Amino acid sequence: MIFHIRSRTGIPPYLQIVQQVKQDIRLGLLKEGDKLPAVREVVTMVAINPNTVVKAYRELENQGCIEKRLGVGTFVTKQPAGLSPDIQSALLDKLEGWLAETQAAGLDEEAVEALFHTAQRNQRGDQHGTDSKR
């Protein structure tokens, strides 16, 4: 697996590693039993602080995504079934339909992204609201 750490995102590098591993697992690019690169390999790959890699791996371990086997390495664990392919494809259909609508309305990619992020924020905002009322 090859990591990409982007500067200037404001997202801590350890979180970028966590997100990339989880994303690759979700997309099926990483499967059960696949070995993750050793800390020193990641350090050499992206000029990163070793503690950052250790922290990212620990976080992934806590979340049950990977497991350490002493003296052997770090491996992807058996993943929970997660999203069923049916639901995933249904959601994807809807999103593609919505994207077609935005195209028909003449929106460019940036405008679509802005809409999407606003919707996400609204969703999160609503959740905050209900939390504080409880």
> For residues 50-69, which are near another protein according to CB under 8 A?
50-52
- Contact between 70 and another protein per CB under 8 A: no
> Does residue 122 belong to the site contacting another protein (CB under 8 A)?
no
Residue position matching structure tokens 């770090």: 74
Report the residue from 31, 40, 68, 94 that binds another protein according to the rule CB under 8 A. 40
Q: Does 9 bind another protein (CB under 8 A)?
A: yes
Work out whether 120 is an interface residue with another protein (CB under 8 A).
no
CA distances to 42, 105, 125 from 110, in Å: 33, 14, 22
Where do the H-state alpha helices sit in the chain? 13-26, 39-46, 50-62, 85-104, 109-133
Amino acid at the residue 66: I
Q: By the criterion CB under 8 A, which residues form the site for another protein? A: 5, 7-14, 39-40, 43-44, 46-52, 121, 125, 128-129, 132
